């Protein structure tokens, strides 16, 4: 049976708990700032003007996201595949959502707000790595920030090393690309990927 209205959905789940409703902050507090400071990884969701949704991973050494003030953070853009999906979306629709993770910690930090792109060298130069200043940074203007409970990561056992797969049990990136795209061998694609991962992170 399809659910086509909020009232039907709410009857299945009941009211939001008071604590869950109250924990949403309009700005970062010391706990949110500390969480960002130790997080090496986040996922960023965006949507184009015509509704095309996208989610993009961002990662670097812990603290790679700069907290400029309680309502603004800055994400440096590192070298990637030049698809620029998130950036194009932000130019059309600035609304974004972020999820910060910390290895070994089951709680996560969620931030909702708006984004804008900047090339301000005064902001970007402190985020340089190996002497390379990011071309672009994404300023996130915080509208909501809240810690998310641990249930999803507990259920997934995400950080349990005993549950990590042997990487060779799944096809390599090169093999998958060769199967999906064609025109090159898996070995050729893996060599290119290995080179980029070693020499083109920054």
Do 122 and 191 lie in a common domain?
A: no
Phi, psi of 159 (to 5 degrees): -95, 5
Q: Would residue 70 count as lying in a domain?
A: yes
Q: What pLDDT does residue 119 have?
A: 98
Which uninterrupted H or E stretch holds 109?
strand 108-118
Say if residue 117 is in the same domain as residue 187: no
Nearest CA-CA partner of 105 in 191, 24, 38 = 38
Q: Which is nearest to 42 in space by CA: 69, 88, 75?
A: 75
> What's the number of domains the chain is made of?
2
Q: Are residues 169 and 126 in the same domain?
A: no
Are 182 and 121 in the same domain?
Answer: no
pLDDT of residue 1: 84
Bridge partners for 64 per DSSP: none
Tokens 């989610």, located at residue: 55
Residue 72 CA to residue 22 CA, distance in Å, equals 21
Q: Is residue 49 located within the same domain as residue 89?
A: yes
Which residues are paired to 108 by β-bridges?
Answer: 148
Q: pLDDT tens-digit profile of 28-57?
A: 999 999 999 999 999 999 999 999 999 999
Residues 95-104: tens digit of each pLDDT: 999 999 999 9
pLDDT for res 107? 98
Mean pLDDT over all residues of the chain? Answer: 96
Where residue 151 sits, what CATH number does that domain have? 2.30.110.10
pLDDT of residue 61: 97
Residue 61, phi then psi, degrees to nearest 5: -60, 150
Q: How far apart are CA 150 and CA 172, in angstroms?
A: 31
Residues 144 and 170 in one domain: no
Strand arrangement of the beta sheet that strand 137-148 belongs to: 53-59, 41-47, 95-101, 108-118, 137-148, 72-76, 66-69
- Give the SS3 label for residue 139: strand
pLDDT of residue 13: 94
pLDDT tier for residue 74 given thresholds of 50, 70 and 90: very high
The b-or-e profile of 167-200 (16+ CB within 10 A means b, else e) is eeeeebebeebbeeeeeeebeebbeeeeeeeeee
- Parent domain of 172: 165-199
pLDDT digit string (tens) for 122-176?
999 999 999 999 999 999 999 999 999 999 999 999 999 999 999 999 999 999 9
Counting residues of the chain whose pLDDT is more than 90, the rounded percentage is 99
């Amino acid at each position: 049976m399809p659910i086509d209205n909020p009232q039907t959905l709410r009857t299945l789940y009941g009211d939001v708990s008071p604590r869950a409703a109250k924990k949403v902050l309009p700005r970062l507090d010391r706990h949110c700032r500390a969480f960002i400071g130790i997080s090496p990884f986040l996922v960023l969701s965006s949507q184009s003007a015509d509704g095309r949704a996208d989610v993009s991973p961002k990662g670097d050494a812990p603290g790679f996201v700069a907290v400029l003030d309680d309502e603004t953070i800055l994400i440096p853009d590192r070298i990637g595949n030049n698809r620029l999906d998130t950036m194009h979306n932000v130019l059309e629709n600035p609304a974004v959502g972020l999820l910060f993770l910390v290895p070994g910690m089951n709680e996560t930090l969620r931030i909702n707000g708006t984004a804008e792109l900047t090339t301000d060298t005064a902001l970007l130069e402190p985020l340089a790595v190996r002497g390379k200043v990011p071309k672009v940074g994404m300023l996130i203007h915080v509208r909501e920030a809240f810690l998310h409970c641990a249930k999803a990561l507990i259920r997934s056992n995400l950080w349990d090393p005993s549950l990590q797969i042997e990487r060779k049990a799944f096809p390599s990136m090169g093999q998958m690309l060769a199967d999906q795209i064609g025109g090159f061998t898996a070995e050729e694609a893996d060599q290119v990927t290995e080179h980029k991962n070693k020499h083109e992170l920054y």
